[in-house]
Structure 1
Amino acid sequence: MKSITKGLLALLLLLTNNAHTQGNSAKEITPTLTGSSLELPQVRVVPITDTKTERNYELYIEVPEDYAENPGKKYPVLYYTDAVWHLEMLSGATEYMLEDIILVGISWQLDINEDLKNERGAHVSRFRDYSMSKHSDPEIQNKYQFGQANEHLEFIRKDVISYVDKTYRTDPNSRTYFGYSLSGEFGAYILLSQPDTFNNYIIGSPTVRGELDYLKELNTKFGPYESSNKNSSLNANVFIAYGSLEEESVVEPIDAFVTLLNERRDSGLSVYKEVIDGDHGTAFPMTAVRSVAWLSSAMNHISRDSKEISFWSIPHLNNPYITQTPEDREDGIAVGKLDIAEADKNAILKVSQEIFKGTYGNYDALLISHKNKLVYESYYKKGRVNLPHGQASAVKGYTSLVLGRAIEMGYLSMDDMDKPLIHFLKDLDPTKFTAGADKITLHKALTMQGGLTIEDEKWKEVENDSVRLKGQGLVQTLLERSAPITKETQTYLYGNFNPMMVMTVIDAVVPGTAENFIKEEFLDKLGITDYQWSNHASGFPQAGWQARIMPRDMLKFGQLVQNGGKLNGEQFISAAYLEKATSGIVRPAIDWMPKNYRYGYFWYYTPVQVGNKSYDMTLAWGGGGQRVIVVEELDLTMVISGFDRDDDKIMKPIFETIVPAFTKN
């Protein structure tokens, strides 16, 4: 391991070096220093020529210490410009946060005009190579030849990357660019002109002032993002930072550039912005450190990022994480190994590679549990083993299990399913109810047949009124504003009103509050402690969406269903309730829903045909691709999480590949 002194020295040098007050003005002055130079024996210096312009450069190449010991291993590559300035800091940061990476520094032009070099310094070629546009002053333009970023990018793509890939064992899915100030501007140019050059872009304090119109033009030429067209995505992770003390004239265009990227609504583009303490020069060291930490999260299924980070800012994994022997993380999940026929293993691995490529849409995780042991675990895109994932309507299925827990503990009975829902709510004023309010039973609400009909405009008037909707006021308001409830209106109608009425009943019958009950008697008992479950305007936990739970914890819900409601051999969810909840009671009246799907108590049911035999499958389903899938007869539970708009395609490999693989055991 390299000496800590090296990293500290790099930090000291960079903190006291004002070279990073960089820009298009060409006013930088690099002092001439005397004394011995710092030698780095682990860095190989390789001369390289731009085959088109015949300009000469050098590459500073540093391989991981275990490179020679692992001849079958491929390594990610971090390319960085302004090599002399950035080498020490990046080498030190990656040493302690991202050891398994090849560093490739690209120097300034060596055979530059000597008069220019003597006047401006060895870095003078960067004004030409990293800038997008010509200078407005003809004299300056003639002298420094601004605006040749396109030429330099061609050199990097055709000569530098080609050489590195041919010479070293590189991972083509994990190339990163690092640039700061003017070379950060160069990174912005690469991203919007030829984004496939790199998978990850670290753009520190880019000098994009005056270049926004050109960047917008590049974005327009690339075209808008369309979910049906993979080629319309930038397919990149982007880290952008600037100093907290930078001038507003520098910050505003950077923020505008971030907005430009975010407004693409590109599901393949992850953008994370961070403001670093310091000015343009002093913010550099921490930019290097923070960006390397961010980069490590694009290469690791275990996140180092704060859980406060926006889901949309999480970088996509450069490669899928797939294991057939999951790790015991001491989280209450028993683990084993995938013990099926080799051909079936390969077929499931193929499915994983297809998920990573986006064949079925945008998915982050696929977990398989067999005989109550996690035997296959995989993460893609934004999936991480230790980060909760948004659940959308899968929360309805979890709410149903909470109700089943309340029944098992004696706070409700199965007979109560057919009682009017208002029977359990003592704080209501029935004199103001719409006609037929007593027709809404727990059974009807749980099967989306409550029969409420409320005009959108009427509901918008009160949907965020936390005073009127507080507690049982939610149900009071719903029953006041609904049209009369009749046999005709009590047909399947999907939405969140019914789940929230069920949650109101849970709160009314359990000791304390529904929120405490969910935590103490449900999630805590399952060992689920790292989650986010939002509250409705009523103050009750959301019953139909807006929760975040880790994929491994989703698996626990499925295993409960698989085991007939038992936890560690003891009845945890009412068995009678669970049998009813996971049966096909009604046909969902949704045009796009497959015809063989039916609906129970917030859980779906569908038969799965494998050869001549049919198996019962039940699932909690959230829009965007969150699914907890159970085939009890096969002792099989599967978990999928994603953020896809057309989320039914993922079921094809579930039905045709994964379930059949377990019918042979």
Structure 2
Amino acid sequence: MKSITKGLLVLLLITTNNVFTQKNSVNETAGSSLELPQIRVVPIKDTKTERNYELYIELPEDYAENPDKKYPVLYYTDAVWHLEMLSGATEYLLEDIILVGISWQLDINEDLKNERGAHVSRFRDYSMSEHSNPEIQEKYQLGQANNHLDFIRNEVITYVDKTYRTDPNSRTYFGYSLGGEFGAYILMSQPDTFNNYIIGSPTVKDELEYLKELNTKIGPYESSNRNSSLNANVFIAYGSLEDESVTEPIDEFVKLLNDRRDGGLSVLKEVMNGSHSGAFPMTAVRSVSWLSSALNPIASDDNDISFWSIPLLNNPYINQAPEDRKDGLSVGKLSVGNKDQNTILEVSQEIFEGKYGNYDALLISHKNKLVYESYYKKGRINLPHGQASAVKGYTSLVLGRAIEMGYLSMDDLDKPLIHFLKDLDLTKFTPGADKITLHKALTMQGGLTIDREKWKEIENDSIRLKGQGLVQTLLEHSEPITDETQSYLYGNFNPMLVMTVIDAVVPGSAEAFIKKELLDPLGITDYEWSKHVSGLPQAGWQARITSRDMLKFGHLVQNRGKLNGEQFISEAYLEKATSGIVRPAIDWMPKNYLYGYFWYYTPVQVGNKTYDMTLAWGGGGQRVIVVEELDLTIVISGYDRDDDKIMKPIFETVVPAFAKN
């Protein structure tokens, strides 16, 4: 309701603004070109075709006051139709942007203009293909989108960039209806023209095959080749009352984009209330709000866009003196040598450019102060990020908290896990069930061997698996547990065994304990922690927290379990949890990594000295990295398939920068 109310308020304000603008234009511009407050009307010629157009340019209010500032630019076609709506929407939702409206051809054939209106050139300029009827084709000269795109790229954008202080990495196109079709053409033919595409109700019904052909010319996306990506944010919308013959082709175009599996492409489709024309006002408002999230490292509280649909940041956000956001983190300034500082900045630029894969954040804390904060792609300061298997490391901290509070002891780590679970029927267990201890489960050596097909039949049975029923079922269906089967085997069964014990020994429930005794004291309030089918909190994945909050977990490890000077996590437990206990014999694991209690350990060589590094690691690149001797905690978040490349600059650049100081 909040976002809807805000949207209606914005529309009301825009309507008021439009009335004011129209009144001024009538009083002051009779018989002349369009003149509006803050609008500059600039004649421009397409030198290739000798056609004359106009640009309607609106600068931000603070443009003159900030001579060193560069601004993003929003280009839009059908300028006369869209000027007022986009001007009003950006005024209230996105102030710091230059608006450039591109008119229809001015010196068009008078007979055509009188017959179809001043907008007649749009049929020629925005359409991809010639008409099948020779008479219509001769009359309107359809299918010249390629020429009009050349004009925009070579004349319009060049003029705007030379005349105004623009950000070349933040250009946006807005087009509606036939203008939306033109936007689809630009995206699929020369995607580097703009960084963001707003495509409203595009008339792509007869152009799908051509768009598919253009897609094949671009080629499939390859994660190792940045040039194979469209590198664009795309917002596509249409009206709920539009005919299926219009909406189905749009849906198919959206599918075409999504099927690319393009790591540099973000696509959001929305359906607006109304007909083809009636959906336009809300499309303008919603798309401008969406665009603001591509330009801002802070996600709007009103923005209900999912993580996977949020647009990629047009520029990296890098702060070497992070803001105190009153979230429980102390902040400071990056204090390393100038050469090291520049090298870290270069790493950030390389992350943004995708050299190491798809990453959203790099944060550095030194001496318990956040001194470097950077976000890329989908990363936002206040947006919880999926943690994948880093959750295993957090589950380990939950157990360490339970030990510190006396609900378990260090000796309990070597007791049979079933000793703590009183609701089990031991008579049905597989042989060797009592060989599973907390120590074995925490080091992925539980020894469970479950037939995959058999488990598929029961893994969603919430009644059978509820609470301790999960452990009961696992121990009934596992092959016998022996010394041979109790070797390292990565997966989520072992973490859930540990979570079941936590739930059994703490007062109340594991869910309440996690909130009250771990997250609340750390000031972690903006998070999602999913439930397993058993009803218990997930222990191995499916949680989301902000990158700043990831640092707080790292600080606990860096400070040997202390929080605000008081022992919070058992120090004895934490020392064991972050030590190298097991050498995993697994192909994807780096050879120098050892495994503790859901935390990894690896030595880091800097010059002639070796430092101990411990880390929580989740697939896609989620890492909480601690080098205690250097008072250093590093956080990385991302969604990369080959997620180990990011460690190269950590080992070779970031850690050495602090080892010198």
TM-score bracket relative to the smaller structure: over 0.9
Which amino acid counterpart does residue 153 of structure 1 have in structure 2? L
Q: Does 1:8 align with 2:18?
A: no
CA distance in 1, matches of 2:579, 2:212: 53
Contact 1:407–1:574, Cα closer than 8 Å, also in 2: yes
Q: What is the CA deviation profile of residues 547-597 of structure 1, one whole-angstrom value per residue up to 9, with x for unaligned ones?
A: 111000000000011111111111111111000000000001112322211
Q: Does 1:406 align with 2:402?
A: yes
Q: Does 1:290 align with 2:286?
A: yes
CA distance in 2, matches of 1:241, 1:319: 25
Partner of residue 112, structure 1: 108
Which amino acid counterpart does residue 7 of structure 1 have in structure 2? I
How many percent of aligned residue pairs carry the same amino acid? 84
CA distance in 1, matches of 2:56, 2:323: 38
1:543-622 alignment runs, 5 A limit: 543-622=539-618
Q: CA deviation at 1:308?
A: 4.3
CA distance in 2, matches of 1:365, 1:11: 41
Contact 1:307–1:387, Cα closer than 8 Å, also in 2: no
Q: CA deviation at 1:139?
A: 2.1
CA distance in 2, matches of 1:314, 1:353: 21
Partner of residue 148, structure 2: 152
Moved more, 399-408 or 472-481: 472-481
Partner of residue 354, structure 2: 358
Q: CA deviation at 1:309?
A: 2.4
Contact 2:34–2:41, Cα closer than 8 Å, also in 1: no
Q: What is the CA deviation profile of residues 475-526 of structure 1, one whole-angstrom value per residue up to 9, with x for unaligned ones?
A: 1111111111111111111010000100011111111111111111111111
Give 2:215's match in structure 1, choosing from 207, 216, 219: 219
Contact 2:125–2:148, Cα closer than 8 Å, also in 1: yes
Which amino acid counterpart does residue 8 of structure 1 have in structure 2? T
Q: Does 1:55 align with 2:51?
A: yes
Q: CA deviation at 1:36?
A: 9.7
Partner of residue 336, structure 2: 340
Partner of residue 20, structure 1: none
Contact 1:403–1:506, Cα closer than 8 Å, also in 2: yes
Q: CA deviation at 1:4?
A: 11
Partner of residue 499, structure 1: 495
CA distance in 2, matches of 1:81, 1:520: 54
Change (3 A) 1:5 1:277: closer
1:629-648 alignment runs, 5 A limit: 629-648=625-644
Partner of residue 241, structure 1: 237
Q: What is the CA deviation profile of residues 227-248 of structure 1, one whole-angstrom value per residue up to 9, with x for unaligned ones?
A: 1221111110001111122222
Partner of residue 646, structure 2: 650
Contact 2:612–2:627, Cα closer than 8 Å, also in 1: yes
Q: CA deviation at 1:137?
A: 2.6
CA distance in 1, matches of 2:302, 2:260: 25
Q: Provide TM-score, normalisation by structure 1.
A: 0.94
CA distance in 1, matches of 2:12, 2:651: 57
Partner of residue 428, structure 2: 432
Moved more, 307-316 or 402-411: 307-316
Q: CA deviation at 1:163?
A: 1.4
CA distance in 2, matches of 1:365, 1:34: 53
Q: CA deviation at 1:331?
A: 0.6
Change (3 A) 1:34 1:342: closer
Partner of residue 134, structure 1: 130
Q: CA deviation at 1:40?
A: 0.8
SS in 1 for 2:626: strand
Partner of residue 25, structure 1: none
CA distance in 2, matches of 1:656, 1:469: 46
SS in 1 for 2:371: strand
Contact 2:171–2:195, Cα closer than 8 Å, also in 1: yes
CA distance in 1, matches of 2:97, 2:35: 21
Give 1:281's match in structure 2, choosing from 257, 277, 299: 277
Change (3 A) 1:70 1:369: same
Q: CA deviation at 1:315?
A: 0.4
SS in 1 for 2:603: strand
Which amino acid counterpart does residue 459 of structure 2 have in structure 1? E
Which amino acid counterpart does residue 360 of structure 1 have in structure 2? Y
CA distance in 2, matches of 1:541, 1:129: 56
Partner of residue 29, structure 1: none
Gaps of 5+ in 2: 1-9, 23-28
Change (3 A) 1:269 1:306: farther
**What is the aligned-residue RMSD (CA, Å)?**
1.9
Contact 2:331–2:371, Cα closer than 8 Å, also in 1: yes
Contact 1:297–1:305, Cα closer than 8 Å, also in 2: no
Partner of residue 256, structure 1: 252
Q: Does 1:513 align with 2:515?
A: no
Change (3 A) 1:295 1:359: same
Partner of residue 442, structure 1: 438
Partner of residue 419, structure 2: 423
Contact 1:10–1:89, Cα closer than 8 Å, also in 2: no
CA distance in 1, matches of 2:587, 2:449: 20
Which amino acid counterpart does residue 488 of structure 1 have in structure 2? E
Q: Does 1:182 align with 2:178?
A: yes
Q: Does 1:64 align with 2:60?
A: yes
CA distance in 2, matches of 1:337, 1:539: 43
Contact 1:405–1:522, Cα closer than 8 Å, also in 2: yes
Give 2:81's match in structure 1, choosing from 81, 85, 104: 85
Partner of residue 27, structure 1: none
Change (3 A) 1:364 1:523: same
Contact 1:131–1:185, Cα closer than 8 Å, also in 2: yes
Partner of residue 232, structure 1: 228
Contact 2:359–2:377, Cα closer than 8 Å, also in 1: yes
CA distance in 2, matches of 1:11, 1:272: 28
Change (3 A) 1:123 1:232: same
Change (3 A) 1:6 1:435: closer
Q: What is the CA deviation profile of residues 606-665 of structure 1, one whole-angstrom value per residue up to 9, with x for unaligned ones?
A: 111111111111000001000000011111101000000011111111111111111122
Moved more, 69-78 or 317-326: 69-78
Contact 1:390–1:548, Cα closer than 8 Å, also in 2: yes
Partner of residue 25, structure 2: none
Change (3 A) 1:388 1:440: same
Contact 2:21–2:36, Cα closer than 8 Å, also in 1: no
Contact 1:14–1:285, Cα closer than 8 Å, also in 2: no
Partner of residue 483, structure 2: 487
CA distance in 1, matches of 2:11, 2:246: 34
Q: CA deviation at 1:220?
A: 1.8
1:186-201 alignment runs, 5 A limit: 186-201=182-197
Q: Aligned residue pairs: how many?
A: 646
